[in-house]
């Protein structure tokens, strides 16, 4: 009887895990490269992962260093534990976003456009994709590149006053004022310079792509045009 009880208990645990963890163990962690993506293709590494890392995986929430409620949302593998490919309505992590449960109400919120990107990614199969040639270093004004770049990668922590660590980047004026006063520090931070403590390298979860760093650097060196 003890063996039967143990077997039943193990089966219940297995069923519970399958019900709540939608990812299978053989999902690849390696992004699939897409060259010259179609205009409606969502690239996970550039458009979706930074949103989860910035707005959900920040320090004290669902990052690897804190993992509030045992949930870490800084990798494709972990994000997929709450995503049902092709079915946003059955995706736990998308539901808590659309219901306003996450990010917390006292934290910067995802815009409707950002939520739409996550929804489109799920509808397209929630694939672990990275896009080649999707970033253009010739575009580096605030309106055509930098505003979106900051909103995706930084504003989960620094998008509302006063901003994490007192750093607010939510508007053009605010970003220019902070960066002008802290240019060397900012450039070292986005380059993940080894001269800085890990906590000061931004974004903390992972460095932006080389192309994105170049866009920011060009923008700064050109006196941050609108």
Average pLDDT over residues 43-65: 73
How many beta carbons lie within 10 A of that of residue 142, not counting itself?
18
In order, the DSSP letters of 190-207 are: HTT-TTS-GGGSSSSSSP
- pTM of the prediction? 0.69
Peptide bond into 44 cis (omega under 30): no
Asked if pLDDT for residue 145 goes beyond 60, the answer is: yes
pLDDT tens for 199-211 read 899 988 788 889 9
Position 190 confidence tier, pLDDT thresholds 50, 70, 90: very high
Q: List, in sequence order, every residue forming a beta bridge with 130; answer none if it has no partner.
A: 33
Calculate ∠ Cα 157-82-126, nearest 5°: 90
Residue 68 reports pLDDT greater than 90: no
The proportion of the chain whose per-residue pLDDT surpasses 90, expressed as a percent, equals 46
């Amino acid at each position: 009887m003890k063996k039967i009880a143990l077997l039943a208990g193990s089966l219940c645990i297995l069923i519970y895990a399958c019900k709540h963890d939608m990812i299978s163990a053989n999902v690849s962690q390696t992004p699939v490269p897409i060259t010259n993506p179609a205009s409606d293709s969502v690239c996970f590494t550039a458009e979706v992962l930074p949103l989860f890392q910035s707005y959900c995986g920040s320090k004290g929430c669902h990052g690897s260093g804190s993992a509030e409620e045992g949930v870490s949302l800084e990798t494709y593998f972990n994000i997929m534990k709450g995503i049902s490919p092709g079915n946003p309505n059955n995706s736990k992590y998308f539901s808590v976003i659309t219901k306003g449960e996450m990010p917390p109400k006292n934290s910067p919120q995802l815009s409707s456009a950002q939520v739409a990107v996550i929804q489109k990614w799920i509808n397209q199969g929630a694939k672990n994709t990275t896009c080649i040639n999707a970033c253009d270093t010739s575009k580096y004004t605030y309106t055509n590149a930098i505003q979106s770049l900051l909103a995706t990668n930084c504003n989960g922590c620094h998008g509302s006053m006063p901003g994490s660590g007192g750093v607010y980047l939510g508007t053009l004026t605010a970003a220019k004022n902070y960066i002008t006063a802290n240019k060397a520090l900012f450039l070292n931070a986005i380059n993940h310079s080894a001269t800085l403590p890990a906590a000061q390298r931004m974004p903390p979860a992972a460095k932006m792509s080389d192309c994105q760093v170049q866009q920011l650097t060009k923008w700064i060196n050109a006196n941050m045009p609108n």
